[in-house]
Amino acid sequence: MASKSVGIMIPDAGGKGSNIFLSNLSAIQASIFEKTHVVGRDIESSRYINVYVHSVAHNDGGGIISRLIKYALLQVIMSSKMKELSSDVDTWIFFLGGETLPLPILTGRLLNKKVILLLTASPEREPRYENNICRKMLNFFKHICCTFSTRIVVYSKNHIQFCNIEEYRHKVLIAHEHFLDFSDFAAITPLTSRPSLIGYIGRLNEEKGVQHFAQALPIILDDRQNLRALIGGDGPLKETIVASLKEGGVTSRVGLPGWISRDDLPGYLNQIQLLILPSYTEGLPNVMLEAMACGTPVLATPVGAIPDIIIDGKTGFIMENNSPECIAENVIRALNSPDLERIAEDGRRFVVENFTFERTVENWKKILQSIE
């Protein structure tokens, strides 16, 4: 590469999922560049190998005005850090909420740097942003960031429409930071040898639609008397889900193991017969790829890059929406499919062929070379 250093800018790396995605992207860039800098809020430096971490402290508490002022200050600090690293970094990648950082993106362009906006999802589609003012503000920030970015990277062609960036199609490139260790995520237990168990694994947040899965379970479990379910994860909806299961009379048939560690995840995925992802918005969910690698078929909503990976009836199953009725109908359809084993195997093969570290790095090299 012409430049020896790259910078990754991220507003918040505090979540468990964010840590995985940032770790992956950092590993990819560290294999391409001599030096990789990461600038972001509350980053644990010990997690990232061969990466220079610049953690920025930020407290987002208080009322809406206070939070806006603090977020503006965070952007000023991040922009100052970009200027400080200006002699070393020629390319900046804005990641996981980077579309909410107009000031650092403008700073990068004023410093004559290449600015790549990596869009992972569409937060404005989340139920918590139904407030028109919040949604308009997010869209305004995204518009500024897309306008002034050198290039925009999304996970798939479907992602362009999902992220509502058709007008910027001329500067869009396709890449992702996903890769798997197939010695960890592998099909150990054949689908036919697994217990009658379906499940959801992920954050118990509203945008994940897990509350609708819980509401669908009485219908599903009534249809299949020998079936059990699992809801693995933690989050603000935990008490709501427990109450929903109790109201539906299915508490005794649903396991709630809490947050599942990455070390334990392959074991869980090798036990379930169907993973359900009823999300409102996604980028390219890691747990979907991990499940497929373990030979577990996935039923998901057609959001983000999911339709590029899951072809209904071929590599998995797609449901039209995440209403409880739609989830129940499609879970029953998937479990009744005479091709379930073949679909699981085709999904596993697709992931193994397309999500190696080497292939992901090679794609990023092409992306970076194209904008030199």
In this structure, what CATH number is given to the domain that contains residue 318?
3.40.50.2000
Determine, yes or no, domain membership for 69: yes
Residue 3's nearest CA partner among 96, 125, 90 is: 90
Tokens of 176: 């992702």
Residue 199's nearest CA partner among 270, 252, 265, 276 is: 276
Residues 161 and 262 in one domain: no
Per-position b or e across 17-40, b if 16+ CB within 10 A of its CB: ebbebbbbbbbbbbebbebbbbbb
Determine, yes or no, domain membership for 216: yes
Is the pLDDT confidence value at 46 over 70? no
Determine, yes or no, domain membership for 140: yes
Residue, of 300 and 46, whose pLDDT is higher = 300
Determine, yes or no, domain membership for 184: no
- Enclosing H/E stretch for 109: helix 102-110
| Average predicted confidence (pLDDT) for the chain | 92
pTM value is: 0.91
Residues 239 and 326 in one domain: yes
- pLDDT 10s digits, 114-167: 999 999 876 656 665 566 677 788 889 999 999 999 999 999 988 898 888 999
Number of domains composing the chain = 2
Residues 133 and 207 in one domain: no
Residues 29 and 82 in one domain: yes
Percent of the chain's residues with pLDDT above 90: 78
Strands of 138-207, DSSP E: 151-154, 172-174, 197-201
- Contact between 7 and 91 under an 8 Å Cβ cutoff? The reply is yes
Domain span at residue 68 reads 5-179+356-370
Residues 174 and 277 in one domain: no
- pLDDT 10s digits, 7-18: 999 987 655 567
At 63 the three-state DSSP class reads: coil
Determine, yes or no, domain membership for 210: yes
Residues 331 and 366 in one domain: no
At 55 the three-state DSSP class reads: strand
Residues 112 and 245 in one domain: no
Residues 42 and 17 in one domain: yes
Tokens of 330: 């499609």
Residues 164 and 264 in one domain: no
